[in-house]
Amino acid sequence: MDGQFGWGTLEDGWRKGPWTPQEDKLLIEHVNLHGEGRWNSVSKLTGLRRSGKSCRLRWVNYLRPDLKRGKITPQEESIILDLHARWGNRWSTIARSLPGRTDNEIKNYWRTHFKKGKTSKNAERARARFLKQQQEQQQQQQQQPPLQVLQLQVDQEQQQQYNNIYQQNQVVQPIGEQAYIDEMIMAYMNPNPISSSMTSMSEGSSEDGAWGSLWNLDDVQHNAVQDQVLYFY
């Protein structure tokens, strides 16, 4: 990328590379004082040797107080899959439906987990991780009943059905195996018959407003009351 200059160096007077805590502090103070926007004036007002673009990106992707930290949950993953099937690589649009998540984060997540050719390996890893975690849990709680889901005997027919739906709707990438496995896991955790990656959305909902209120991502049980309506386009 920036090979000639390297990270944390100056180019055209602008610093590049990883942000330091001091720089973050300056930027946060600036935004608290002046609000978001006018990014090009940040360097003049704060003394930060960062371009406006760089400041905006740092704020939007990392410093914003409303950002949600931590791993993408299976619910969020399902939403990402659904919305990607609907809108393609419109990451910012997808991100608006996932409060606290950034387009960059979602984009990275998608590329890592669902980019063509990566799903099988990820699915295997996810399965291995899950099995390992469950084994540890079982050791801790020896009275735990046997978990059928540990076998992850994937219902091939159902998965094929999902993939057919995606293909019929001219979606290049069928549903990821990892998502499917996560779905199996979620199905086990929540016995109510809900298909999280085929989650519903009432017809005619606006692209931004409805999802924000529909999904309370901290409340897994909430999923169970959603109608099961497919909405592929």
126 versus 194: smaller Cβ distance to DNA: 126
Question: Any contact of residue 135 with DNA (CB under 7 A)?
Answer: no
- Minimum Å gap between C-beta 93 and DNA is 6
Q: Which stretch binds DNA (CB under 7 A): 121-129, 163-171, 188-196, 218-226?
A: 121-129
Is 164 among the residues that bind DNA (CB under 7 A)?
no
Please report whether residue 217 would count as binding DNA according to CB under 7 A.
Answer: no
We find the least distance from the C-beta atom of residue 200 to DNA, in angstroms, to be 24
Closer residue to DNA, CB minimum distance, 86 or 118: 118
Residue 138 is a binding residue for DNA (CB under 7 A): no
**What is the chain's alpha carbon radius of gyration, rounded to the nearest angstrom?**
21
- Which of the stretches 36-44, 146-154, 211-219, 223-231 binds DNA when contact is defined by CB under 7 A? 36-44
CB of 224 to DNA, least distance (A): 27
Return the number of the residue (107 or 163) whose C-beta is nearest DNA.
Answer: 107
CB 172 within 8 A of CB 182: no
The CA distance from 10 to 76, in Å, is 38
Interface size with DNA, residues (CB under 7 A): 48
When asked if residue 9 is in the footprint of DNA (CB under 7 A), the reply is no
Q: What is the Cα–Cα distance from 148 to 188, expressed in whole angstroms?
A: 8
Give the C-alpha separation, 193 to 222, whole Å. Answer: 13
> Nearest CA to 233 among 210, 209, 201, 211?
201
- Binding DNA (rule: CB under 7 A), the pick from 10, 25, 29, 40 is 40
Strand partners, 10: 15
The answer to whether residue 97 forms part of the interface with DNA (CB under 7 A) is no
Q: Judge whether 114 and 173 are in contact, CB under 8 Å.
A: yes
Q: Which of 48, 101, 113, 183 binds DNA (CB under 7 A)?
A: 113
By the rule CB under 7 A, 99 interacts with DNA = no
CB of 229 to DNA, least distance (A): 25
Q: Is residue 52 within the footprint of DNA (CB under 7 A)?
A: yes
Contacts for 30 with CB less than 8 Å, ≥ 6 apart:
42, 45, 46, 48
Which neighbouring-strand residues pair with 15? 10
Binding-site member from 76, 77, 82, 105 for DNA (CB under 7 A)? 105
The torsion defined by the Cα of 214, 219, 220 and 222, in degrees rounded to 10, comes to -50
Q: What share of the chain is helix, strand, coil (3-state, %, to 5)?
A: 55, 0, 40
